[in-house]
Structure 1
Amino acid sequence: MDDGTRPPLWGAADEPADLGALLLLLRRAHGLTQAELADAAGVPRRFVVDLENGRSTLFVQRLHAVLDALDARLVVEEPGARDAASGLSRTGASGDDAVAVDDDPDGGAPALKDLGW
């Protein structure tokens, strides 16, 4: 599990590959194997593998279609990530401590490009 020493992760998952990369980083940060995550989530391991590899499953396609129709985006965020990114973390983390990538010029969630960890 996360020992609290790394900054919280957040980013926009505009593409299946973005979602997969974020989920992979989160799983590793929590010290879980794909099998352990699948068991904890109650899904087949193959589903975790497909998500992490950016495979566009029917669920992911439909989710993005609905979000596109609503002009919205999917954001994956650990608790405290936005506070840390804005310098308002309750734990005293500065804005540089949050892992946010490629800041969105509109001021929303960052797009996933390079997490730099």
Structure 2
Amino acid sequence: MARTTSSSINIEVQMLELVRKEVDNDLKLEKKFRVLCLEVIDITETEEQEIGQLEKLSDDSMAAEELVRKEVDNDLKLEKKFRVLCLEVIDIHKQMEQEIGQLEKLSDDSMAAEG
């Protein structure tokens, strides 16, 4: 009986650790997402200002072209950051699935030992 209790406690401790990791990961991802959202706001405000400049520079095609190129580069950099964040979410999800699978196996083994 002591082994069963020990196994149950071990599984509970591992489940709590898994939940703690999930909460930590969620908080980290939320922080990164908030930072990216603030960047989007900054870029949008900058683009609005630069559109005004572009309208003023409509006669100077070289300056207008450079301004547009700069905006495209900013948008591509932001897209890359979002892609990296999405890949990180996928990796964390896979890790959690593996840990849950291990806990399920421990639980099944514990129940088999009891029976």
Output the TM-score relative to the length of structure 1: 0.23
Q: Greater Rg, structure 1 or structure 2? A: 2
User: Which structure has more helix as a fraction of its residues?
Assistant: 2
